[in-house]
Amino acid sequence: MKTITLLTMLFLHIVDDYYLQGVLAKLKQKKFWQDNAPDKLYRYDWLIALIEHAFSWTFMIMLPITYFIVQNSQYANITIYMIVFILNVIIHAITDNLKCNKFKINLVIDQVIHITQVVITWICMSCYM
């Protein structure tokens, strides 16, 4: 069951990072806002899109773990779950910012980091499955 959970998490990573990201792929880029809405009012709008995508991705990859926690009424472990969740959002947002705004990493490094996040999340949370 744990292996299937990991494979599901990896699949959900691909689904959210490629298929479901949609318009957020453009909106999380500072350049998009500079080119299309150069007014000072919109100078930080890229940041909310970046965080929303990082949240969506984290929610998606942790969905199988969420199911196990809810199904088995393991709410005592919610603190660990929330710490892992928040760390994933932060790491994903930083990684995507390095790729699409700072141009410090390429897609390969971006995906290696995200897949590593999935595997580490699975390891950290596998004792609850």
What pLDDT digit, counting tens, does each position of 45-58 carry? Answer: 999 999 999 999 99
* Strand boundaries in 44-84, DSSP class E: none
pTM of the model: 0.91
| pLDDT score for 11 | 98
Distance CA 110, CA 126 (A): 24
CB atoms within 10 A of CB 97: 19
What φ, ψ does residue 106 adopt, rounded to 5°? -100, 180
CB 8 within 8 A of CB 64: yes
Give the tens place of pLDDT for each residue, 67-124: 988 887 776 778 899 999 999 999 999 999 999 999 999 999 999 999 999 999 999 9
